[in-house]
Structure formats: C-alpha cells, structure tokens
Structure 1
Amino acid sequence: MADDGFTKEERAAMKQRAAELRVEAKRQKLADKAAAEEADALAAIAAMTEVEQPIAQMVHEIVAEHAPSLRPKTWYGFPAYAREDGKAVVFFQPGAKFGTRYSTLGFQDGAQLDDGVMWPTAYAVTGVDDATRASLGALVRRAAGD
C-alpha cells in the first residue's frame, strides 16, 4: 500500500481512466467542432439564392459521397471542404457573392488535380444535372486523392 491509501494497481487504474477521459474529451471536442463546421457550411448554402442553393447542395452531396475524408466548413463565407489539418481543398463560390454571372467550384493547391504544367483550378457551374454531377464527382474524388 502507498501512503495515499491506494495500491500501485489502483493508482495505475486511475491514471488509465484519466487518460481515457482525456481522449474522450478530445474526441467530443472534435466531434462538436466538426458538427458546428458542417452546420456553418449548411447555413451558408441555405443563405444562397434559389438558383445557387441546388448547385451548392449538389456539391455538398458529391463531396460527402466521393471524398468522405474532406470535412465541411466555411471558408471566407463559402461552403468549403477541408482535410483534417483544416486546409480547404474544395470550395463553392456563389456568383451572387461578388456579382458574377456564374458560381464556381474551386480547388486550392492541396487538390490533387495536377496534369502536366497546366490545369484548371476552378470551374463555372450554372446548373444541376446528371452529367454535371458525374463530372464534379470525378474532379472531387481526384482532388481529394481518396
């Protein structure tokens, strides 16, 4: 028995439980953060015009399906999708935000879209259809490297 009234094994068990509680607390914080960031991204989508909402929602669904490693968040007020380090890889920029005639799906330098010495990093998107969904799905999958 130790002077504090606990055996060596009891102290080890308490340390182990304390370590478990710290891990659980970290996981809870991460889960809350991830949920809050996704809620922010969905709120950004909901605030868009009736024309832009379905496009942004399609992008959100595509990323969830084709690049589940990317987490939703907002980035400069846009819905964006980032790696675990928080760096955005894919983002949707609504045209109304800057008064442009079309919205864009953009990719940051972490996207794996490299193709020789030149490749596009943004695409104009004006509507939702199966062909667009398929093309964007392939781009997002490639960008995420999943």
Structure 2
Amino acid sequence: MATRTTTKSGFSAAERDAMKARAQELKASSDRAEGEAAVREKIAAMPEADRVIAERIHEIVAEVAPTLVPRTYYGMPAYAKDGKVLCFFKPASKFKTRYSNFGFNDVAQLDDGTMWPSEFALTALTADDEKRIAELVRRAVG
C-alpha cells in the first residue's frame, strides 16, 4: 500500500501549510516595514538558486515600482498595489519544480488582446531578463 500524502480533506501537508501561511498573511497588517521584513525573511530562507533570483527580483521591483508594498502571498515574496497582490515570486523549491516563476495577478495591467502570459518560468536571470521583468512590472502597475 502506497504512503498517503493527503489527509481526509484531500490536501497535502504542503497545501495545508500554504493555507495556514495565507491565513496568517490575511491577519497581518499592510505595514510596509512588516511586509519588507517578511519578504526578506522568506528570501533568506530559500536555497541559493532561488534566493539569488528572488533577491534580484526584489531589487528590481523596489527600483521600478516603489509604490508597491512588499508582503508575503501563500508564503512567497509578493508585491501589492492598493492592498491587492500584483506580482509574486514562486520559488522552485517551494513546489519541488525544475524552475521558479515570476507571476502577475489579475490586477496587473498586462492585457494584450484576448490572451497573454501571466507567469514566467525562470532558471536564472540574465541582464535581458532583468530588463524584461522591469518593463513588465512598470506596465503591470499602470
């Protein structure tokens, strides 16, 4: 018999942990300093490959969109506009995938016809990637 990875509710331990983290995030204040500290703590705890990318994304977002408020989103670094998460970094290590993602929620102003990407896979960051992320964040903020 295979080891059971889900509970009676159908959620895995990782999914339950993410829900608990999200509940705590919703209770947290929207204070910029608290959000900055929480994001930096999450980034510092990442394995090196994720941490290097997350740190640079954090710098880019702070530089091109200083009005966005850092916060965590399901335990991941994220950046909010008017209290709503606009963009986020999903580390590969969190979901045991081969690449990280940088994504945007529906409040982002990235509409391009009837179909456009909302997440981008990242295995590393080149100078061109950094420029593209900066431009996407600028556009997303509106």
TM-score (norm 2): 0.77
Is it true that 1:142 corresponds to 2:139 in the alignment?
A: yes
SS at match of 2:55: helix
Alignment root-mean-square deviation, CA: 1.3
Q: How far did residue 128 of structure 1 move? A: 2.2
Matched ranges for 1:26-65 at <5 A: 33-65=31-63
SS in structure 2 opposite 1:105? strand
Where 1:74 maps in the other structure, the secondary structure is strand
Larger Rg: 1
**Is structure 2 residue 103 aligned with structure 1 residue 106?**
yes
Q: Normalising by the residue count of structure 1, what TM-score does the alignment of the two structures yield?
A: 0.75
Q: Report what 2:115 is aligned to.
A: 118
- Unpaired segments of 5 or more residues in structure 2? 1-28
Choose which of 115, 125, 129 in structure 2 pairs with 1:128. Answer: 125
Instruction: Work out the CA distance in 1 between the residues paired with 2:134 and 2:52.
Output: 15
Match of residue 77, structure 1, among 72, 75, 78: 75
Aligned residues: 114
Letter paired with 1:61: E
C-alpha distance in 1 between matches for 2:135 and 2:35: 25
How far does residue 33 in structure 1 lie from its aligned partner after superposition?
A: 2.0
- Measure, in 2, the Cα distance between the counterparts of 1:63 and 1:144: 10
Q: Any gaps of 5 or more consecutive residues in structure 1?
A: 1-29
Q: Percent identity?
A: 51
Residue identity opposite 1:136 in structure 2: I
- The alignment partner of 1:109 has SS state of coil
Q: For residue 114 of structure 1, what is the amino acid of its counterpart? A: D
Task: For residue 119 of structure 1, give the secondary structure of its aligned residue in structure 2.
Answer: coil
The ranges of structure 1 where at least 4 consecutive aligned residues each deviate by more than 4 angstroms after the TM superposition are none
- Distance apart, 1:138 and its partner CA: 0.6
